[in-house]
Structure 1
């Protein structure tokens, strides 16, 4: 058995992992703000914020394919335990949290009637040290309750193979015996390996980078659409007095504009700059969509780019083969 690290070490470990998981959740909840490039960061359009739902689509497309059916040999009557813990929500919550953070946790406790109570805790509020042989924790820590105003932990739990210690803010720690010999905090891991036994997030760095590029493209297209709707016009030959009296907004919105000749009989020259073309933005966004789809085993149809020539059922099934294999794995 590995050496026990202690409660202080587990708190620091969670603090290190919390930012990484929170970043993924921001992308999943579409609350992240894409980073602007230097060309647009300091302009008057910097307040614009465009979002795309590609990250939730990548996570949910895999989560919807993972359906828990039950145990083949239920010798310990586990099905009854999960039926008492609302399995319709429990499994979906555990799977989605594991896909977003790379790992989620199931906290096992007791209710008022000493019946097993299961609660899903995401990677922002729980962590542990994993045994590479059993893939179970040797030591665990979880924040069970936070202050809704300050986000400060109010109730914490420290899990060991033989005890579970509850630390409530302002009270003495309470230690309960654990007869199972395994910490009552069980990890659910997505794609673990020897280097990262706690798994990898479905939301990869490549996916987040591609999403930021796509959001910047949408932002640029929104700015260009304003110039596309109201193309810039110019007038050459106005005197200074006429220029000061000229109503630019009226000239922009008017469908019929009258400009008289000056005292010398010369008339100003009216022209219009070439309109913005939206096609480059559409093609760039489609390129980002193709790269994002390839990264996550999706198709362009999944991301909203409907083809003029719909694929056959066999072609659609083949395009989702990598996603199906990931779900099966």
Structure 2
């Protein structure tokens, strides 16, 4: 018996709502809104105000996302980018939107990318590619084919309206639905696009996918969460100790509290206590003070927790502020970032497969079929490591070596990160130089270009000439 559109929406809505609590918990750690839950009932309510938000999860995820930049797409075995796909990327503002999708995948474990044909108000030569949050969209994946079987996107109407909207994406149809009176009303179909492509136009962007868990998992792992909670508690205790014991308290013998606190109200007595004054009624006494508490144990404990976080995440020590006072050398910095760079490369490889599938779906939407060579599509990522430009320029110049080295000029410019447009403009400038023009006239090789040695023309007269033997 075929499933109705309303049943599709209800089934996928239940799965979407079932995943939202776990997703929001991960988002709470990223936004540092986990404080009350992490402190628990063992802490007096008065001390909860002293709790500190520890932003290590945000720092860790942002450090990975900042190293994930898609530059272009090309076919395996070819160096030139595919201009058509680059134009689609720019048209959909994916330079910015892709970063949001990568970050959502790192926080929640997954995000989604949808593809659709251009509408009446869109450019007819560019498909629409949108990045979606897992809080609003859920896609059901076939465990055998690893392709999306169906997907649902839910969203609400304007503020103050009870309207709810849903987009149901099926292999041959995309259906827009609406209901006006909340959960008590039925869904009605507003529009339907029968594209007959045989594919659901949704691609999951998965993070930390496993064979036993294909939905992806958050990069904020349980050990990172527990260390963040522990650091928050240490900082809370540090503030409590600093408020009460970090400054020496003075003791005055021979005076009662009322003589110092004025009317002797509870608030004034507490104000005197917080001013580090303790009054004791004893005429034979004298004024003295207690020794201030040493807060070093809190600081050292926080440093130990930070080192555990560094071992779990691969963040360099300077990111977590427990490095030594001596500045590290460039080689030491690159060595400290090795694990973080490798993590970014792994994420680029995982996310790259999703972006390649997105571009294949975009070609399917625009052309009605996917060319065979597009299954050799590659995503070109920017180098996730952080070498200085001077170090990179020095290495590239040594390889180039004035045109007689290992790589030609064009390869050197590519390694330095110049875009295809910039390299084309540089090539025009090279051709406009007087030396290049003169070489073109006389047939001399242009500096920076590797050419095979010229073969001397055959000499017919030497065909029958006797061979000469060297003396």
TM class, shorter-length: 0.7 to 0.9
Could you tell me which residue of structure 2 aligns to residue 84 of structure 1?
91
Q: CA separation in 1, counterparts of 2:39 and 2:273?
A: 34
Could you tell me which residue of structure 2 aligns to residue 321 of structure 1?
338
Match of 1:244 among 238, 243, 258: 258
TM-score w.r.t. length of structure 1: 0.84
Structure 1 321/7 Cα, relative in aligned 2: closer, same or farther at 3 Å?
A: same
Compute the displacement of 1:234 (Å).
3.4
Compute the displacement of 1:140 (Å).
1.0
Matched, 1:155 2:165: yes
Compute the displacement of 1:204 (Å).
1.0
TM-score w.r.t. length of structure 2: 0.61
Could you tell me which residue of structure 1 aligns to residue 32 of structure 2?
30
Matches within 5 A, 1:229-268: 229-236=246-253, 242-247=256-261, 253=275, 266-268=283-285
For the 8 Å contact 2:253–2:284, the answer to whether it is kept is: no
Alpha-carbon displacement from aligned partner over 1:101-154 (angstroms, at most 9, x marks no partner): 1110012233333542122111111111223455431111112x3356589872
Match of 2:58 among 56, 61, 73: 56
Alpha-carbon displacement from aligned partner over 1:173-199 (angstroms, at most 9, x marks no partner): 132213322112211111212111121
Could you tell me which residue of structure 2 aligns to residue 105 of structure 1?
112
Q: CA separation in 1, counterparts of 2:23 and 2:103?
A: 13
SS of alignment partner, residue 240 of structure 2: helix
Alpha-carbon displacement from aligned partner over 1:241-263 (angstroms, at most 9, x marks no partner): x44324365697599x999x98x
Q: CA separation in 1, counterparts of 2:286 and 2:210?
A: 71
Match of 2:72 among 64, 67, 70: 70
For the 8 Å contact 1:227–1:275, the answer to whether it is kept is: no
Match of 2:295 among 272, 278, 284: 278
Q: CA separation in 1, counterparts of 2:279 and 2:148?
A: 81
Could you tell me which residue of structure 2 aligns to residue 14 of structure 1?
16
Q: In the comparison of the two structures, how many residue pairs are matched? A: 317
Structure 1 131/326 Cα, relative in aligned 2: closer, same or farther at 3 Å?
A: farther
Q: CA separation in 1, counterparts of 2:92 and 2:12?
A: 28
For the 8 Å contact 1:227–1:276, the answer to whether it is kept is: no
Query: Mean Cα displacement is larger for which, 226-235 or 90-99?
Result: 226-235
Alpha-carbon displacement from aligned partner over 1:224-249 (angstroms, at most 9, x marks no partner): 111245433434555xxx44324365
Could you tell me which residue of structure 2 aligns to residue 197 of structure 1?
214
Structure 1 69/97 Cα, relative in aligned 2: closer, same or farther at 3 Å?
A: same
Match of 2:238 among 211, 221, 226: 221
Query: Mean Cα displacement is larger for which, 77-86 or 305-314?
Result: 305-314
Q: CA separation in 1, counterparts of 2:143 and 2:30?
A: 29
Could you tell me which residue of structure 2 aligns to residue 127 of structure 1?
138
Compute the displacement of 1:271 (Å).
3.5
Q: CA separation in 1, counterparts of 2:325 and 2:161?
A: 50
When Rg is computed on C-alpha atoms for both structures, the one with the higher figure is 2
SS of alignment partner, residue 180 of structure 1: coil
Could you tell me which residue of structure 2 aligns to residue 172 of structure 1?
188
Could you tell me which residue of structure 1 aligns to residue 48 of structure 2?
46
Mind listing any 5+ residue stretches in structure 1 that lack a counterpart? Answer: none
Could you tell me which residue of structure 2 aligns to residue 95 of structure 1?
102
Structure 1 163/283 Cα, relative in aligned 2: closer, same or farther at 3 Å?
A: same
Mind listing any 5+ residue stretches in structure 2 that lack a counterpart? Answer: 76-80, 181-186, 262-268, 347-471
For the 8 Å contact 1:21–1:124, the answer to whether it is kept is: yes
